[in-house]
Chains A and B, each alone.
Chain A
Amino acid sequence: MSLLERYVQPSEAQIPTVSHHGEIPSGQPTTTIVIDGQEVVAVVGETILRAAQRAGMNVPTLCDDEKLAPAAACRMCLVDIEGMDRPMPSCHIAVEPGMKVTAKSDGLFQMRRQNLEYILSDHNAYCMPPCQIGCPTHIDIPGYLDLMSKGQHVEAARLVKEVLPFPYALGLVCPAPCQEVCRRGLVEEEIAIRQCHGYTGELALEMEEAPTPFPKKTATGKRVAVVGAGPAGMTAAYYLALDGHAVTVFDRLQKQGGMLRYGIPEYRLPKVKLDKELNSVWQLGAEFKGGKELGKDFTVESLLAEGYDAVFLGIGADVSNEMRVPGEDLPGVLPAVKYLRDNASGIPVPVGQGTRVIVLGGGFTAFDCARTSRRLGAEVTIAYRRSRKEMGAHYTEVDDAEHEGIKLEFFVAPVRVVEKNGRTAGVEFQRMELAEPDASGRRRPVAIKGSEFVMECDVAIAAFGQTPDVEFLEREQGIRKTRRDTIVTNAAFMTDRPGVFAGGDAVIGASTVIQCVGQSKLAAKAITRYLEGADMAAVANEIAAEEQVPELIDIVPYKPEEPQVRMPFLPFEDRAKSFALIELGYDKSGAEKEAARCLQCVCPDVGRCHLQRLSLEHGLTNNRFHRAEPVDYHDYEYDFSHDFILRDLNKCINCTQCVRICRDVIGANCYGLMGGGYDSIVTTPWNVSLSYTDCVSCGACAETCPTGALMMRERDLQTYELDVVRCIYCGDCVEVCPHGALGETPNFELSTYQRFGVTVLAKEELAAARTWKPSEHIPTNEETHRSPVRPPEVRPPGPPRWGA
């Protein structure tokens, strides 16, 4: 009996093909087929796709639902079957004894990829926002900007702190990779994303208790030592403390902050406010031990011996690279990191009114040194061996420095430091020029012979980047370092020594604050999983899966032009000799206005969308069918008029799952195809609002929709108020609920249904909770949280009607 025949049998003659858990009930007639060389036991009459899925094989499909008759519409599940002259949809063909099926081959992969490219070429919708991909922490930028624009700043701060614990500090010092890719830039100017979270962060500072993304978890009884109180260490400490571990942070300097305090000058980040923000870590119960140096006061070994269950090394990179020219040991030649640190901790530096300073380098640190020296009254020149374009510092900083009276010298490389009376008197430079492009297309600077000249100075500051200080490793077992003096970790941020993790600059070399935060957020997750006893290879996979996913479509909807809300800055004349903060911060109305400029170019279905998942699996990161005439694409109106179900036809891929589930399972028959040819689209009769159809608001269509074309309106239905006086315990609600969201309990029926949250509680869980009272918290456990929603039983559609 074939599958289609089974659908027209009287319901009593139907037998369930397989249980919903996948095992075959005893007494079912089975047969064996071969899929990709593997023998698979299949129930007679079931489809190849179902047999493959039960055997754990991933055959891509977008239009299949086990409750429904097959449509073979999406053409993703096509497989080669021996003896058939063309690929056949596995969702449609019933198994036959001895069938030989090829579900994975290069040819099929390419064809499926082409199919996806077609689908995406007419999928007129946003997918991932580029800013979220651009930021190393993958922070939900459209989410917090939306909250901010509605004035919900505390909620916004909580959302930000899910991945970014220090939004105020980052709001001032981040180079904002998110803003470079902002789609608003295609309209006129990008959103001031960094300044916006800076505003929420500043607002949170005023609160007595800093908002947290979620309540601190109950204590786990595990102890974690974090070495380094810089951005990496503090981020890790924040999330580890939130996860309920007892965290101790060690630092060799007396105060917290690491490079944020000792590297970034006061005029960019006021230390009083920084402390306020970092204190949120101590509010969570973590402990700080300053003035304790790894390798001197304690070792990794001793920490583990003291009973710490895990160690996180966030030691940063704070050894300035050498100049490697003669004379660099002379008094008056300063390493950049030491110079900034001394100045920040109040130790006198040999720079003052009228000192002639040369800063060598072109990165952030070079500009920090130069602008600090300028504020101390010095005459400053920055010497860089390439052009302005190649400078590592952000262009705004380069411009600001020039305006503050700092001279810039390009295409010069130091040859030696000139000595006079045992002190530095100048630096001898050689002029550079760009060579012809090499094999990689880059033009390297080369020296021009005989172009040497001397620039006089009293102090030369070398800012050629930094490396981690890993001397302590000589006394440690089982932690390796690379040639670049960084610590070696695996994809789960664990060093070769179990329980010892590392992250931030110590692993990736000197980088930006936001990169360290992004790494430490993941490392904290890995540590928690490690302390739970998880398999670290699986954790590495989890982290890889969480990491960035490419966006799939780039379109710009019409928005009226509106320039960026300007950040107020300290005037240049007030900056001389003043370490006052130069970026003054948004006020409430400015921040809200700026946040409202966000295009919200994100699909709420991201992460659940099967089209996105399959596209990523097929490596589809480009599309050849873009930017042609308007007739080549569809632009439909949204239908957001229904109380529970949102419809966006632009995302519809005509898989017809909603048509079939509404007709054959629910019986309301709200959907069908409209239009002809390329313009065919699944919609309601005459494309009316869903409210005017026979819709029963069951949500089955939204649940089965493989994309974001049909979505449940976000709402909180965690608890129904049940009027016990009026309930007659008929059980009707339990019977008709298509999701099994209602269950029978010893007390009475109740519902918990939360589509976007963690769980749909099914009958089994509720029935198992024999002692549960409706006034109590709903009983769940982690396992049931993860189990998929159980589909309802198949209801046969009955014989189709046909014309007279």
Chain B
Amino acid sequence: MPASTATLLSGARVPATNGEVGPQEIIDRVERSGLRGRGGGGFPLARKLASARANAAGGDAFAIANAYDADPDSPLSRTLLERNPEAVLAGLALAAKAIGARRAFLYLRPDAPAEPSWSSQREGLSIEVVRGPGGFMGGEETALLAVLESKRAMARQRPPYPAAQGLALRPTLVASAETLAWLPYVVGSGAQPRTKLVSVTGAVRDPQVLEVELGATLQDILGRAGGVIGELKAVHVGGPTGGLLTKEQLGTRLDFDPLREAGTHMGSAQIRVLGDGVCIVAEAGRLFAYLAKETCGICVPCRVGTKRVQGILEGISSGLGRTDDLPWLGELGDHLNEFSLCGFGITSASILRTSLRSFAADYEAHLGGRCPTGTCAPTRSRRYEMMAQP
């Protein structure tokens, strides 16, 4: 690991921030650094800060570090808090200062380890450690707000964004722990945030959390995780709702925009390698089964749609598929993408879009009555049928 690129996980001393730096100055410095949200969306942090600060206008505001790690296979925040907790806490304090918040929260998974010292008072700011309910949706930024309001973890429609109406309907900054960990380096020493934590899993020799340079190719990253075991069939990038990329797409650079162009997204920054023994149809079915279990249940496309897509995919992998199932899946993917309430449903369409485009052969093989890898056992005996009116 070249030392120059690692910042967050390198154990480098967290620069002490000069107490003289005022709120506006913090925002200006973040703006100059071009820091984008590491939680997956890639939204410029400076704009979030400025918006929350303007909306608060000196009144109540809150800052929240999302260290939830919704995707359990991508424990980025947990790793960061193990190796460099001070960066996260200092960053949270800086963000709170920038927007004028006097209360801040460090939001963890229920099972995440935490030091008692993390709940602290500093410079008139109280930082509290709170724990979410578990499950994938607990990490969604508005579901997280609902949890802090003692409600069920359910997403809320945006706009208004949390920076306008967040916790208790007051302006709230919600940023991932990784984003906030950059703040002391950016504000204190003028560092350029050039790296991103990723979790490499699946069929690689050395699965681990890595800090890699933004712009590194997926091929490079897999190399750093010890290389692929056996033949690579697909890389699943971005966590459970991410798209499936082919071997030919390994040259894709790890950054927000190139990933989007490739059909997936940064998401939980999990890079999962699927070997050539994996049937993509069954894999997509398993992903949607997981999503149908994890959806918060508020909006129709996501609550019912994920279940129905799962059913169609399982039908195909059980040998009950028909040719018109494929355009149907495309149609349902578009619906998920267009009509879902939060990023969960919106991004889940990428599984369908990428797999139908790049792994059409697997679907075709199943429609022809044969599993391409010989690994699929039927999971259902009845498929969805049309029920017409008499």
| Residues of A bordering B, CB below 8 Å | 2, 4-5, 7-8, 70-75, 78, 86-87, 89, 92-93, 111, 114-115, 118-119, 121-122, 130, 133, 181, 550-554, 621-629, 632, 653-654, 656, 672-673, 675-680, 799-803
A630 CB, min distance to chain B CBs, angstroms = 9
Is the C-beta of B383 less than 8 angstroms from some C-beta in chain A? yes
Task: Collect the chain B residues with CB atoms within 8 Å of residue A4's CB.
Answer: 160, 165, 169
B173 CB, min distance to chain A CBs, angstroms = 16
B345 CB, min distance to chain A CBs, angstroms = 10
B371 CB, min distance to chain A CBs, angstroms = 20
Task: Collect the chain B residues with CB atoms within 8 Å of residue A627's CB.
Answer: 382, 384-385, 387
Task: Collect the chain A residues with CB atoms within 8 Å of residue B157's CB.
Answer: 70, 72, 89, 92
Task: Collect the chain B residues with CB atoms within 8 Å of residue A656's CB.
Answer: 298
Binary A-proximity of B185-207 (CB < 8 A = 1, otherwise 0):
00000000000000000000000
Task: Collect the chain B residues with CB atoms within 8 Å of residue A86's CB.
Answer: 338, 346
A798 CB, min distance to chain B CBs, angstroms = 11
Query: What are 19 pairs between A and B in contact, CB < 8 Å?
Result: A4-B165, A75-B299, A114-B339, A118-B308, A130-B390, A133-B390, A622-B386, A622-B387, A624-B385, A624-B386, A625-B311, A628-B311, A676-B294, A678-B295, A678-B306, A680-B295, A800-B151, A801-B150, A802-B148
CB interface residues, B 367-390, toward A, < 8 Å: 380-390
Residue among B149, B157, B165, B297 facing the most chain A CB atoms (10 A cut-off): B297
Closest A residue to B165 using CB positions: A4
Task: Collect the chain B residues with CB atoms within 8 Å of residue A553's CB.
Answer: 387
Task: Collect the chain A residues with CB atoms within 8 Å of residue B340's CB.
Answer: 75
When the two chains form the complex, which single residue of A2, A92, A673, A801 contacts B152, counting CB atoms closer than 8 Å? A673
Cα–Cα, bound, A122→B300 (Å): 10
Given contacts A93-B159, A133-B390, 15 further A-B contacts (CB under 8 A): A71-B298, A74-B300, A111-B335, A118-B305, A552-B389, A625-B311, A626-B387, A628-B384, A629-B380, A629-B381, A654-B298, A676-B135, A678-B293, A800-B168, A803-B149
When the two chains form the complex, which single residue of B152, B339, B380, B384 contacts A78, counting CB atoms closer than 8 Å? B339
Is the C-beta of B307 less than 8 angstroms from some C-beta in chain A? yes
Cα–Cα, bound, A753→B299 (Å): 35
Cα–Cα, bound, A628→B338 (Å): 26
When the two chains form the complex, which single residue of B298, B301, B380 contacts A118, counting CB atoms closer than 8 Å? B301
When the two chains form the complex, which single residue of A2, A75, A653, A803 contacts B341, counting CB atoms closer than 8 Å? A75
Cα–Cα, bound, A119→B305 (Å): 9
Q: Assess A654 versus B389: contact at CB under 8 Å? Given A89-B157, A800-B168, A802-B168.
A: no
- CB pair B292 A678 closer than 8 Å: yes
Task: Collect the chain B residues with CB atoms within 8 Å of residue A680's CB.
Answer: 295-298, 303
Cα–Cα, bound, A92→B301 (Å): 17
CB interface residues, B 133-176, toward A, < 8 Å: 135, 147-152, 154, 157, 159-160, 164-165, 167-169
- CB pair A799 B390 closer than 8 Å: no
Cα–Cα, bound, A71→B135 (Å): 22
When the two chains form the complex, which single residue of A121, A622, A628, A677 contacts B382, counting CB atoms closer than 8 Å? A628
Task: Collect the chain B residues with CB atoms within 8 Å of residue A7's CB.
Answer: 169
- CB pair B387 A73 closer than 8 Å: no
Residue among A7, A622, A656, A800 facing the most chain B CB atoms (10 A cut-off): A800
Closest B residue to A74 using CB positions: B300
Cα–Cα, bound, A672→B150 (Å): 13
Task: Collect the chain B residues with CB atoms within 8 Å of residue A802's CB.
Answer: 148-150, 167-168
Task: Collect the chain B residues with CB atoms within 8 Å of residue A622's CB.
Answer: 386-389
Closest B residue to A626 using CB positions: B387
Task: Collect the chain B residues with CB atoms within 8 Å of residue A677's CB.
Answer: 292-295, 297, 303
Cα–Cα, bound, A799→B169 (Å): 8
Closest 5 CB pairs of A and B: A680-B297, A626-B387, A72-B157, A118-B304, A802-B149
B286 CB, min distance to chain A CBs, angstroms = 14
When the two chains form the complex, which single residue of A72, A122, A554, A672 contacts B387, counting CB atoms closer than 8 Å? A554
Q: Assess A800 versus B300: contact at CB under 8 Å? Given A72-B341, A75-B339, A628-B382.
A: no
When the two chains form the complex, which single residue of B152, B303, B383 contacts A654, counting CB atoms closer than 8 Å? B303
Task: Collect the chain A residues with CB atoms within 8 Å of residue B54's CB.
Answer: none
- CB pair B338 A673 closer than 8 Å: no
Cα–Cα, bound, A72→B158 (Å): 10
Closest B residue to A679 using CB positions: B297
- CB pair B299 A72 closer than 8 Å: yes
A16 CB, min distance to chain B CBs, angstroms = 21
When the two chains form the complex, which single residue of A72, A78, A550, A801 contacts B389, counting CB atoms closer than 8 Å? A550
When the two chains form the complex, which single residue of B164, B169, B305, B311 contacts A800, counting CB atoms closer than 8 Å? B169
- CB pair B387 A623 closer than 8 Å: yes
Binary A-proximity of B305-320 (CB < 8 A = 1, otherwise 0):
1111001000100000
B150 CB, min distance to chain A CBs, angstroms = 5
Task: Collect the chain A residues with CB atoms within 8 Å of residue B335's CB.
Answer: 111, 114-115
Task: Collect the chain A residues with CB atoms within 8 Å of residue B305's CB.
Answer: 118
Task: Collect the chain A residues with CB atoms within 8 Å of residue B130's CB.
Answer: 803
Task: Collect the chain B residues with CB atoms within 8 Å of residue A672's CB.
Answer: 152
A611 CB, min distance to chain B CBs, angstroms = 11
Is the C-beta of B6 less than 8 angstroms from some C-beta in chain A? no
Cα–Cα, bound, A71→B296 (Å): 13
- CB pair B300 A73 closer than 8 Å: yes
Is the C-beta of B228 less than 8 angstroms from some C-beta in chain A? no
Task: Collect the chain A residues with CB atoms within 8 Å of residue B154's CB.
Answer: 673
Task: Collect the chain B residues with CB atoms within 8 Å of residue A75's CB.
Answer: 299-301, 339-341
Cα–Cα, bound, A428→B286 (Å): 73
When the two chains form the complex, which single residue of B151, B301, B385 contacts A628, counting CB atoms closer than 8 Å? B385
B322 CB, min distance to chain A CBs, angstroms = 11
- CB pair A73 B298 closer than 8 Å: yes
Closest A residue to B298 using CB positions: A73
A90 CB, min distance to chain B CBs, angstroms = 11
Closest B residue to A93 using CB positions: B159
Is the C-beta of B328 less than 8 angstroms from some C-beta in chain A? yes
Is the C-beta of B232 less than 8 angstroms from some C-beta in chain A? no
B191 CB, min distance to chain A CBs, angstroms = 32
A349 CB, min distance to chain B CBs, angstroms = 42
Q: Assess A2 versus B382: contact at CB under 8 Å? Given A678-B303, A680-B297.
A: no
- CB pair B308 A121 closer than 8 Å: yes
Task: Collect the chain A residues with CB atoms within 8 Å of residue B301's CB.
Answer: 75, 115, 118
Cα–Cα, bound, A87→B339 (Å): 7
Is the C-beta of B220 less than 8 angstroms from some C-beta in chain A? no
Is the C-beta of B332 less than 8 angstroms from some C-beta in chain A? yes
- CB pair B304 A119 closer than 8 Å: yes
When the two chains form the complex, which single residue of B293, B338, B382 contacts A87, counting CB atoms closer than 8 Å? B338
Cα–Cα, bound, A672→B297 (Å): 12
Cα–Cα, bound, A325→B307 (Å): 66
Is the C-beta of B331 less than 8 angstroms from some C-beta in chain A? yes
A659 CB, min distance to chain B CBs, angstroms = 10
Cα–Cα, bound, A801→B151 (Å): 9
Cα–Cα, bound, A111→B167 (Å): 32
- CB pair A621 B388 closer than 8 Å: yes
Closest A residue to B154 using CB positions: A673
Cα–Cα, bound, A122→B308 (Å): 10
Q: Assess A803 versus B339: contact at CB under 8 Å? Given A622-B387, A678-B292.
A: no
Closest A residue to B292 using CB positions: A678
Closest B residue to A181 using CB positions: B390
Cα–Cα, bound, A621→B387 (Å): 9
Task: Collect the chain A residues with CB atoms within 8 Å of residue B304's CB.
Answer: 118-119, 121-122, 678
- CB pair A678 B390 closer than 8 Å: no
A77 CB, min distance to chain B CBs, angstroms = 11
Cα–Cα, bound, A121→B307 (Å): 11
Closest B residue to A553 using CB positions: B387
Task: Collect the chain B residues with CB atoms within 8 Å of residue A551's CB.
Answer: 389-390
Cα–Cα, bound, A677→B169 (Å): 26
Task: Collect the chain B residues with CB atoms within 8 Å of residue A803's CB.
Answer: 130, 147-150
When the two chains form the complex, which single residue of B169, B297, B388 contacts A678, counting CB atoms closer than 8 Å? B297
A658 CB, min distance to chain B CBs, angstroms = 14
Task: Collect the chain A residues with CB atoms within 8 Å of residue B331's CB.
Answer: 114
- CB pair A623 B303 closer than 8 Å: no
A272 CB, min distance to chain B CBs, angstroms = 39
Residue among A8, A551, A678 facing the most chain B CB atoms (10 A cut-off): A678
